Structure 1
Amino acid sequence: MNLDTDIIIVATQNKGKVKEFEHAFAALGKQVKSMFDYPELPEVVEDGVTFAENAMKKAKTVGDALGIPVLADDSGLCVDALDGKPGVYSARYAGEHATDEENNRKLLRTLEELKLGEDTDQPLLSPARFVCSLVLYNPATGESIETSGAAEGWITAEAAGGGGFGYDPLFYIPEYEKTMAELTLGQKQAISHRGAALRNLLDRLKSVE
């Protein structure tokens, strides 16, 4: 399988993810299209128990419908103090159609109820990681390539930054002394779970050319 095309189809309706993929593939001279460009496609129910299952389901459903290779992502936040939650439910942690702000509020409320540590002024509530699974699926051959990536950090009680999306304002990166939402898009791409998964995918593609 290869990406010998000027257009990359990404199976997502998340505007933040589209922006990140556009940034990543622009360096390769490729244009990204998403489900916003194909409104006639049915919505994919993400009922898998792992990120990889959801990514595969999205890639295969959209790829089979369009008849062309499709790249799909599923990703989320895994918090140590919550035994890996919200995990695959990250986007709907506060409800099926929850906003980023509602999900962030629930996360902070849940962690604060645990009364982690004795220092109530401690802004870092728990170690956590962003996890991403990527699947590139070719309906012509049934072939798929799956990769993953992760980014380690902490959940902070003090949200900061206007960039990114999702839980980025609460995800603190000690090396930068900033939250993910305070990083530039280039900085985020260099260290993020999605950036790591994408680099792994491109390496895999190069190895099979």
Structure 2
Amino acid sequence: MMRKLGGGSLVIATHNAGKLKEISALLDPFGMKCISAGSLGLPEPAETGTTFVENALIKARAAAEASGLASLADDSGLAVDALNGRPGVYTADWAERQHFEGEPGRDWYLAMGKVEGLLQQLGPDIDRSAAFHCVLAVAWPDGEHAVYEGKCPGSLTWPPRGEMGFGYDPVFIPAGREQTFAEIDPTEKHAISHRADAFAKLFADQFGT
């Protein structure tokens, strides 16, 4: 029988206050008290995996082992069919500014442009199918773990459209829609997103909802 999360403390393997707030709100109805790895002073492990599952488990296991508490981590990104799944686990890295380009941070327009440039090199009739993926990993200090995978299929468009999203949202059109993620109301987007799919599976398995 798979191990279940009970009420109590759960370490969220992140140093991002916004992500902690979002996940805390989702888990609060189940009696979970969420604590960030950042607030505990835990180091961020190197994400050396080549898949979303591997990286999510690296983060969850590191937080569980260091804190002695059950931990939850996520890893997500965009996979483009014609690019053999790239950028994949390097989704955020493709938006990394170089030192000579000014202030450090993410340049998502640059990242979207890299994807589009590669697609255009493959010709005007190339398949533009893509999907956002999200993996949630729960790990316990004794090494036991559970993994939940979410997916939002769609296709890529160019040029970018919309002001409400972030990352690659302005070029991603979810299946069955005509608007990009950046043109869809955020509440509606969150309801159909890869993250929503993954959390629905976690809730069903861990809490029976």
TM-score (norm 1): 0.81
Check the 8 A contact 2:11/2:63 in 1, yes or no.
no
**Distance in 1 between the 2:124 and 2:21 partners?**
35
Question: Partner of 2:91: helix, strand, or coil?
Answer: helix
Aligned to 2:125: 117
Residue 86 (1) aligns with residue 87 (2) = yes
Aligned to 1:131: 133
Residue 108 (1) aligns with residue 116 (2) = yes
Residue 188 (1) aligns with residue 184 (2) = no
- In the TM superposition, what whole-angstrom CA distance separates every residue of 1:34-83 from its partner, at most 9, and x where no partner exists? 34434x22121111111111111100001111111110111111101212
Aligned to 1:122: none
**Distance in 2 between the 1:57 and 1:26 partners?**
25
CA separation of 1:188 and 1:12: change in aligned 2, threshold 3 A: farther
Unaligned runs of 5+ in 1: 119-124
Q: How far 1:6 sits from its partner (Å)?
A: 5.6
CA separation of 1:15 and 1:174: change in aligned 2, threshold 3 A: farther
**Distance in 1 between the 2:20 and 2:78 partners?**
18
Check the 8 A contact 2:52/2:134 in 1, yes or no.
yes
Aligned to 2:4: 2
Q: How far 1:200 sits from its partner (Å)?
A: 0.7
Aligned to 2:147: 146
- Paired positions, count: 199
Question: Partner of 1:4: helix, strand, or coil?
Answer: coil
**Distance in 1 between the 2:18 and 2:109 partners?**
14
**Distance in 1 between the 2:180 and 2:25 partners?**
20
Question: Partner of 1:149: helix, strand, or coil?
Answer: strand
Question: Partner of 1:180: helix, strand, or coil?
Answer: coil
Q: Which residue identity is paired with 1:106? A: K
* % identical equivalent positions: 38
TM-score (norm 2): 0.81
**Distance in 2 between the 1:106 and 1:137 partners?**
35
Q: List aligned pairs for 1:1-209, cutoff 5 A.
A: 1-5=3-7, 8-13=10-15, 17-18=19-20, 20-25=22-27, 28=30, 32-38=34-40, 40-95=41-96, 98-117=106-125, 126-139=128-141, 141-206=142-207
Q: How far 1:167 sits from its partner (Å)?
A: 1.2
Check the 8 A contact 1:168/1:180 in 2, yes or no.
yes
Question: Partner of 1:93: helix, strand, or coil?
Answer: helix
Measured on the aligned residues, the alpha-carbon RMSD in Å equals 2.7
**Distance in 1 between the 2:133 and 2:111 partners?**
17
Check the 8 A contact 1:7/1:30 in 2, yes or no.
yes
Check the 8 A contact 2:153/2:175 in 1, yes or no.
no
Q: How far 1:18 sits from its partner (Å)?
A: 4.3
Check the 8 A contact 1:133/1:146 in 2, yes or no.
yes
Q: How far 1:30 sits from its partner (Å)?
A: 5.0
Q: RCO greater where, 1 or 2, for CA within 8 Å and sep 6 or more?
A: 1
